[in-house]
Structure 1
Amino acid sequence: MSKLVIFSWLYLLSIPLFAQDIKVAQLDCAYRNNPLGIDVLSPALSWKLQSAKHNIMQTSYQIVVSSSLSNLNKNIGDVWDTKKVKSGQSLQIKYKGKKLLSSKTYYWKVRVWDSSGHESGWSASAFWQMGLLNTADWKGAKWIAYEKLADSNVNSLPTDGKKDKYIGNNILPMFRKGFTVTKTIKKATAFISGLGHFEMSLNGAKVGDDFLAPGWTKYDKEALYLTYDLTKQLKRGENAIGVMLGNGFYYIPPVKERYRKLKVAYGYPKMICRLLIEYTDGTSANIISNQSWKTAPSPITFSSIYGGEDYNANLEQKGWNLAGFNDSRWKSSLLADGPKLNAQKEEPVKIFENFSPQNINPVAHGEWVYDMGQNASAIIELKVRGKKGDTVSITPAELLKADGSVTQKNIGGPSYFTYILKGGGVETWRLKFFYTGFRYLQVKGAVPSGKENPSNKSVIEALKALHIRNAAEQVGKFSSSNELFNKTFSLIDWAIKSNMVSVFTDCPHREKLGWLEELHLMGSSVRYNYNAAPLFKKALQDMKNSQLASGLIPEIAPEYVKFEWGGDMFRDSPEWGSSSILMPWYLYQWYGDKQAMVDYYPMMQRYINYLGTKANNHILSQGLGDWYDLGPKPPGVSQLTPMGVTGTAIYYYDLKILEKTATLLGKKADAMAYAKLALEVKNAFNNQFFDAKSRQYATGSQTANAMAVYMELAEEMHKNAVIENLVKDIRDRKNSLTAGDIGYRYVLRVLEDAGKSDVIFDMNSRSDVPGYGMQIAKGATALTESWAALPTVSNNHFMLGHLMEWLYSAVGGIRQAENSIAFKQIKIEPEVVGDLTSADVRYNSPYGKISCKWEKTDRTFTLEVNIPVNTTATIYFPVLPKYEISEEYNSTFTDAGIEAGKAKVAVGSGYYKFNLKYK
């Protein structure tokens, strides 16, 4: 029997008498704070709450939306006023006010009431600005180009064969438009897209801090535009807009001397822009892209998303993006056709960490290798001085040869950057329309500052790597007493960050393609660490745009290439395409967002119907299977697990998720049909693969047994035996793994759910067998494509990082309770296994910060927990037969006894510090 020792008087003394019971702290519209370019008529509104007190729940709310900030400040909801609504909902509340208008800015705020009737007071004001809802809202703006690609040369979905046309190099153009503002400016907004990517400037200053804008898409279906507030940059009098364009995935130059994974040609670079200027007198004006804009070649002489970028500083035209520049030698823009436009909803790509070289070493032929210390998706920033016409060439790489020089054998080459100096002092250059993954940079044509320079080459004053990634907010943090786990966390995190751009890519160099399986397999790991919901929703749109008439969802989205090797092996694999069904459900589970299920339900139906046409007696056997598992051969297609196991298991899981989705959407007939088909698939799976004598599936591989249990294909009477077979296989291999890309997450999930995190600890604590420890021992700083960190494959890869989910959910103990949505009900259950003595883990959930910090000694266990306002939690403690629990601040929690050998208490929101003493 436990003894509760309460110190509530300490807690009462710690709270000021004037403390507000509840406060509205953060307002989001469509997952973003004060977003620009909203192009849906019912955006979802959410907020987070704060309180210094415990057990606070929202019971009512009021939202006010106004057409002006002055009206909002007067509490006049002339656009929408919900009045007081009795509801605890604080997430994903759909706007239901007056019809929203293109380009209009709306201001809003919220107040709430708690269960004691206390009012929060109004939140700080927030806003959102609408994008352009209809084609007519572009006010006549046209797509413009320097040159146009003939329709006969357009090749929007090439194969990986050698028959595609070589079209030749193209011009990387820049555009300018001068104009005069004669009135006092109230607000200025630019709506702009440039394909493949653009960089906009106003009066010589870059607009925004994004990179590689807009996000890349299936361009024959849609392109994205961005919205910028230019009120502070625009001035009364003479102004000038400047735009530079890069190729991106819109056009990949088929230059034989540079690396390319594929040859896409949607067209040559083009742009469209509308600048809306609103004046204080109530009038407005529009500056739109048309033939009056002037264009010329830029100093960027080559740019390929795969092959690199070249820049000739001698081609710069000083002042080209300033008012008053003489553009008489520039030509008028050509009018061009362009794809359908939608607002970019995901966060843009931006620059984050900067890395300076850790070591600089000479190699053969007077070249130098810079070691940046971290393998990451990045661009370079070069500061160099030298003679006019000197050329500096820089080759990026992940790995080195034995002689210390770089090798691109594993990432595709040649891919490099060149800079031609103009002379006259220190010159600074950054890549504009290319990025890659690298740790090392090999420099030709220059020497580092301070080194001997007998050939009088250019001198590099500084060379940095600038990490780029999607600007999704970081919402997670992990540390523990186990240094290998801390390094593993960093290893996985760098692979996530390096492959989280406008799509979730496989690698940031060789392919840069949106292989789909990781969206559902690595999705939980990503969501614990980043608020990437808009990027996941963008991935769903990419899948919809890439879906074939047959219903097939290809393995890559956006689909830029059809790989011919192996027939349809690299196009039709259920474990990949099933992201189209699983992701809407996961978005609902994690964020309470039902809209993805509504929007993409037809896509989901078409794909499940397609899988049905491919099934043979309900068994699906096509595709790649458990990719990169550890078998006797080099890694690749599944070796240890039959294709039918992984394909059919995911098919069954799809059907069960569709049954839940249909039920939630009120489609009862669909739900019944999916349930019936799911049962038929389950029976076929067990008849085909289950061995009743040995009580394991197919070959008894880790993947086969784990997926059967996780997907609930294994009958309840056999479940424990199958799990024990899984454990036995791992133990018999001296705690080493064999599961690959598809199976490993399910191995971890099944073991954790079965209370066997000790097995997970043991199998991830070795460095002498393939796994995270071996990768780190070999010097990897980002997750590698193969378990053994092979030098022939990618060494920065977005797969196999599923342990991050376990580090949060088990070591950190932060999980969502069963049937909870968006962490409304929380389960805190740290697994104290192996040599772990402490952990400090945080996750900023949709409701607010959840934290779990624990430390153990031989006779004590301390647990500090924060539970967000408007949520509840159940907390589990490791116990011995005799123990005593005390909580330092609050008496209002319930001792719920013992469950599965652990003490359990139920709590409301607030901060708690529990102390366990073992007798």
Structure 2
Amino acid sequence: MNSQRDVRITRLKAERRADGGPLAVPAPRLSWVVEASQEGWLQASAELERDGDIVRVDGGQSVFVPWPFAPLAPRERARVRVRVFGQDGSESEWSEPLALTAGHLDDGDWAAEFIGLAEPHGEAQPALLRREFTLDRTLARATLYSTALGVHQLELNGVEVDDAQMKPGWTAYEHRLLYDVTDVTGLLREGRNAIGVQLAGGWYTEQYGFQGQARRFYGDQPSVAAQLVLEYADGSEETLVTDGNWTATGEGPRTASGIYLGEHYDARLEKSGWSSPGFAEEWPAARVVDVAVVPKPRATEPVRRTGELSVAKVITTPSGKSVLDFGQNLVGRLRIRVTGPAGTTLTLRHAEVLEHGELGTRPLRFADATDEYILRGDGEEVWEPTFTFHGFRYAEIEGWPGQVDPDAVTAIVMHSDMRRTGWLETSHPLLNRLHENVVWGMRGNFLSLPTDCPQRDERLGWTGDIQVFSPTASYLFDCDAFLSSWLEDLAVEQAQHSGVVPFIVPSVLRGEVLPAAAWGDAATVVPTVLHERFGDEQVLSDQFESMRAWADKLHELAGERLLWEGHFQFGDWLDPDAPPEEPGDAKADHDLVATAHLYWSTHLVARAADQLGRDEEARSYGDRADRVREAFVREYVTPAGRMMSDAPTAYALALQFGLVRDPEVRQSLGDRLAFLVRASGYHMSTGFVGTPLIQDALVTTGHADVAGRLLQQTENPSWLYAVTMGATTIWERWDSMLEDGTINPGEMTSFNHYAFGAVADWLHRSVGGLAPAAPGYKAIEVRPVVLDGIDSASTTHETPYGFASVEWRRDGAAFQLTAVVPANSTATVWMPGAGKPVEVGSGRHSFTTELERTEESRHRFSLDSPLDRVVEDPDAYAAVIRALEEADPERAAYFRRRTRWVPNRPLRSAMFLTPPPVLEAIEKALAGVGADR
């Protein structure tokens, strides 16, 4: 029998929330991570203990194990431990106890009324609210529940109750509102106490809409609700609630606040001691607001400050402005330390980029993104906005007393406080930066909900963006709780529109809600991803009616032809060939894209039903999916393997959604896709829909070489073009900034949009070689794709079972791979070129092989060489472009982007009207390529 020291529990978690906050349910599922020194360790059973009560659980389940004890009562505390027994007879010691606190309330226990200003002097008026109370008995525990239609922070006796920001976050306020739970026992004292609330409008009073037509959707004024439950040592209990006995003022230092506006703060108006007992100023009574929604407990991590960045560079712009560069596009706000005369006004403007040396604010559209601070003038003052956030790398500061001190300004990074779980590093520095850009893009756009962008007058929960990005997100961060919470909003918004999923969730755009392919499919895709990546079957169960309602609505639209055609669609949004002002004008046919998603969502509903044991529905939706697939093939696929819409996205959809099953036709589709990518000069030709699929479609049909060239392309448009332009996040458009440093002329562009960063999921699975083969990575597939130009890669992911990693390196023909598989998991390892995989259990495993040698091209090149042969050879292509750029940069740019690199056509014919001296230079450059080899 193995020693207990060989097996240990390293992590015990309740439900989805990773930060150990109060539980939102009375019967939390439990998950644990095992470390075992012996290889191939598998769990046979486990014992769970709650305060002395022990329950045995047979089997290997260690992720989301149902709660085996009596449900927790509101505010009940418990301590649970686990120990495990291996199939090899080993056993662990008991884990460290996990302290649990029930944060839910029973039905009818919410008693607080919503309160706000009685007579606000403007719309979205920030406010201060307060109440004093007396503790005349020994206190055992105090629990504070709070929420707002707006954003708020509470103080007890002058101290903020927690470090959460922008509480309670943004949900579908009309239907769903969350409350926060905080233990505040240590902030209270016997005798007189005071509770105060800072309140602002946040998302609730924001104006939503486009092209200057924005208006408030929810309400004009914020309100707050809170209840403080006091449990005394003698067993008695008292609850203090927000009601008409509170007082409120709008005459505080925060004079204006908004998500898009920024925050204006006059420190001369601060009210010392306002949230402490004994404050003498008389305020009017608060107004009670009628709110029908009963709040629910938060089940996800709140927004927090998660990092700080110092100024990297101080810039004086051509116009003489002082601009601070933080070296990284981030989301958050500035903290300043300043000394100056009373009444001095500091203005802080934010932007993501510089355009020709000045702050590039045009992409912000109608968002001011400006904070203003007026000094009180009594020494050093430290200030940071409270109820706003900005997307920025650069900050322009006006009004600073004297010269701006860069050491006195700090960028505060903010996002929902998820735990980081995924990493990737390769031998290719630009790819490493690309991956880091994806991480920063996710951090900035996972702030309360998954947004499209964090900086302009939008910042909305666009469903299409998260639909394509959710696999990447699930690798990089533990976002199960975050996305599960957002899916609840999706379901309640969808229910208001007869099964149609709005473009954005929460839905705040007025007008008709229309179904759109790839956007509404978030209803089926995101729950599927969460189950696949986190092993969370509950999300399928919770969202199944939403999934089914979406599929049913699409079938209603498709009718007897089983084709979703003739309706509004975004299509392959932001295809790089679309004009700047027509981002939906893509090469791929809109109806083809729509019908592909009709199939995919129906197929995912069938899969979910099968997983949940709903056999009749699994058969029904499976049959419906097959009929849609057959209709798609009849309508859009020729017998020879060409798509009627001859665009890369069309081929990627047909291949990766499994719409075409015939092996020969699939190969023909893959070959044509590779031809199109090569003909485009290995430049990106896909938008939001095709980009996440194209690399897999190429690799699975035998064109890894084409995928490698596409991945490592640095010319515009490509993934790495933005990196070469200094990007530190993912851009919305492939060319959000043009080569000359000018911002894309389109009305819509941002420099922090994660959708095109969906490629990181392929990087993790294929370049890194680590993919799930069973829900939650219970089984792992290790299958790296070796690409020219990349000599090593390593990736690590904290799966629900523990850390898994793959590291590989090649030196000439020698290839070495090391895989680490967590305990209670297994892996299938495919070595490059191997016909069969190797099955392994947990532990560290090393493999070596010899790669097949590829013959180096010996082609000689000239102006008579076929275009496809020139572009296939990186050296030949580079020689042509370099010679053109030296002679005529504009001609080179046009040639690079517009040439179709096809067979049978000689290079000379593509250079019509090129001056003879330039042709001579190109011929000479090409001759040099041949001579080198």
TM-score by length of 2: 0.85
Residue in structure 2 matched with residue 396 of structure 1 by the alignment: 350
SS in 2 for 1:332: coil
Matched-pair contact (CA < 8 Å) for 2:576–2:733: no
Match of 1:438 among 385, 388, 392: 392
Matched-pair contact (CA < 8 Å) for 1:448–1:461: no
More contact order relative to length (CA 8 Å, sep ≥ 6): 1
1:917 positional shift: 6.8
- 2:644 & 2:238 partners in 1: Cα distance? 69
Matched-pair contact (CA < 8 Å) for 2:148–2:223: yes
1:549 positional shift: 3.5
Residue in structure 1 matched with residue 253 of structure 2 by the alignment: 299
The letter for the 1-side match of 2:835 is E
Residue in structure 2 matched with residue 816 of structure 1 by the alignment: 772
Residue in structure 1 matched with residue 736 of structure 2 by the alignment: 789
Matched-pair contact (CA < 8 Å) for 2:135–2:189: yes
- Identify which range, 657-666 or 723-732, moves more after superposition: 657-666
Residue in structure 1 matched with residue 5 of structure 2 by the alignment: 20
Residue in structure 1 matched with residue 115 of structure 2 by the alignment: 144
Q: Deviations over 1:329-352 (max 9, x none)?
A: 112222222222011111111112
Match of 1:104 among 76, 81, 85: 76
Give the superposed CA RMSD.
2.5
- 2:343 & 2:335 partners in 1: Cα distance? 19
Change (3 A) 1:915 1:841: same
Change (3 A) 1:678 1:263: same
SS in 2 for 1:726: helix
SS in 1 for 2:449: coil
The answer on 1:906 being equivalent to 2:839 is: yes
Q: Deviations over 1:328-382 (max 9, x none)?
A: x112222222222011111111112222222223347763111121111121112
Change (3 A) 1:658 1:27: same
Matched-pair contact (CA < 8 Å) for 2:18–2:478: no
- 1:269 & 1:643 partners in 2: Cα distance? 42
Q: Deviations over 1:487-521 (max 9, x none)?
A: 11112221111101111000002211000112221
Residue in structure 2 matched with residue 586 of structure 1 by the alignment: 529
Matched-pair contact (CA < 8 Å) for 1:261–1:306: no
1:752 positional shift: 3.5
Residue in structure 1 matched with residue 39 of structure 2 by the alignment: 54
Change (3 A) 1:300 1:682: same
Matched-pair contact (CA < 8 Å) for 1:222–1:342: yes
Q: Deviations over 1:25-47 (max 9, x none)?
A: 21111123574443334322111
Change (3 A) 1:322 1:696: same
- 2:76 & 2:109 partners in 1: Cα distance? 12
Q: Deviations over 1:532-561 (max 9, x none)?
A: 001111121111121133211111001011
Matched-pair contact (CA < 8 Å) for 1:851–1:866: yes
- 1:406 & 1:630 partners in 2: Cα distance? 22
Change (3 A) 1:54 1:739: same
Match of 1:660 among 602, 607, 612: 607
SS in 1 for 2:47: strand
1:591 positional shift: 1.6
Q: Deviations over 1:789-832 (max 9, x none)?
A: 23241111121112211221112110122xx1111111112222
1:867 positional shift: 0.8
Residue in structure 2 matched with residue 856 of structure 1 by the alignment: 810
The 5 Å alignment of 1:248-287 reads: 248-252=202-206, 262-287=215-240
Match of 1:574 among 507, 517, 522: 517
SS in 2 for 1:577: coil
1:612 positional shift: 1.7
The number of residue pairs the alignment matches comes to 834
The answer on 1:509 being equivalent to 2:463 is: no
The letter for the 1-side match of 2:260 is Y
1:759 positional shift: 2.2
1:118 positional shift: 2.2
The letter for the 1-side match of 2:534 is Y
Residue in structure 2 matched with residue 741 of structure 1 by the alignment: 688
Match of 1:620 among 564, 567, 585: 564
Matched-pair contact (CA < 8 Å) for 1:27–1:126: yes
- 2:637 & 2:381 partners in 1: Cα distance? 67
Match of 1:705 among 651, 654, 675: 651
SS in 2 for 1:353: strand
Residue in structure 2 matched with residue 63 of structure 1 by the alignment: 48
1:267 positional shift: 4.8
Matched-pair contact (CA < 8 Å) for 2:310–2:407: no
1:912 positional shift: 2.9
Change (3 A) 1:653 1:719: same
The letter for the 2-side match of 1:618 is L
Residue in structure 1 matched with residue 172 of structure 2 by the alignment: 218
Q: Deviations over 1:72-121 (max 9, x none)?
A: 2xxx22xxx42x22211001112243243122122211111101222212
Residue in structure 2 matched with residue 891 of structure 1 by the alignment: none
Change (3 A) 1:58 1:308: same
- Identify which range, 792-801 or 309-318, moves more after superposition: 792-801
Residue in structure 2 matched with residue 130 of structure 1 by the alignment: 102
The answer on 1:805 being equivalent to 2:761 is: yes
Change (3 A) 1:709 1:746: same
1:915 positional shift: 4.7
Change (3 A) 1:18 1:111: closer
1:262 positional shift: 4.5
- 2:699 & 2:162 partners in 1: Cα distance? 44
Unaligned runs of 5+ in 2: 738-742, 853-933
Residue in structure 2 matched with residue 94 of structure 1 by the alignment: 66
Change (3 A) 1:806 1:448: farther
- 2:318 & 2:832 partners in 1: Cα distance? 59
Change (3 A) 1:859 1:500: same
Q: Whose helix proportion is higher, 1 or 2?
A: 2
Unaligned runs of 5+ in 1: 1-15, 66-71, 150-166, 452-458, 880-897
SS in 1 for 2:430: helix
1:316 positional shift: 0.4
Residue in structure 1 matched with residue 489 of structure 2 by the alignment: 542
Residue in structure 1 matched with residue 438 of structure 2 by the alignment: 492
- 2:136 & 2:823 partners in 1: Cα distance? 51
The answer on 1:752 being equivalent to 2:699 is: yes
1:171 positional shift: 2.3
Q: What fraction of aligned residue pairs are identical, expressed as a percent?
A: 27
- Identify which range, 801-810 or 265-274, moves more after superposition: 265-274
The letter for the 2-side match of 1:145 is G
The answer on 1:829 being equivalent to 2:777 is: no
Residue in structure 2 matched with residue 762 of structure 1 by the alignment: 709
- 1:509 & 1:698 partners in 2: Cα distance? 39
- 1:37 & 1:757 partners in 2: Cα distance? 47
- 1:826 & 1:255 partners in 2: Cα distance? 45
SS in 1 for 2:100: strand
The letter for the 2-side match of 1:561 is L
Matched-pair contact (CA < 8 Å) for 1:141–1:288: yes
1:697 positional shift: 1.4
Q: Whose strand proportion is higher, 1 or 2?
A: 1
- 1:280 & 1:396 partners in 2: Cα distance? 51
- 1:183 & 1:426 partners in 2: Cα distance? 41
Matched-pair contact (CA < 8 Å) for 1:25–1:48: yes
SS in 2 for 1:636: coil
Residue in structure 2 matched with residue 886 of structure 1 by the alignment: none
Matched-pair contact (CA < 8 Å) for 1:841–1:852: yes
Match of 1:342 among 271, 292, 296: 296
The 5 Å alignment of 1:838-857 reads: 838-857=792-811
- 1:755 & 1:50 partners in 2: Cα distance? 38
Match of 1:868 among 822, 837, 860: 822
SS in 2 for 1:134: coil
Change (3 A) 1:596 1:914: same
The letter for the 2-side match of 1:713 is L
- 1:34 & 1:446 partners in 2: Cα distance? 39
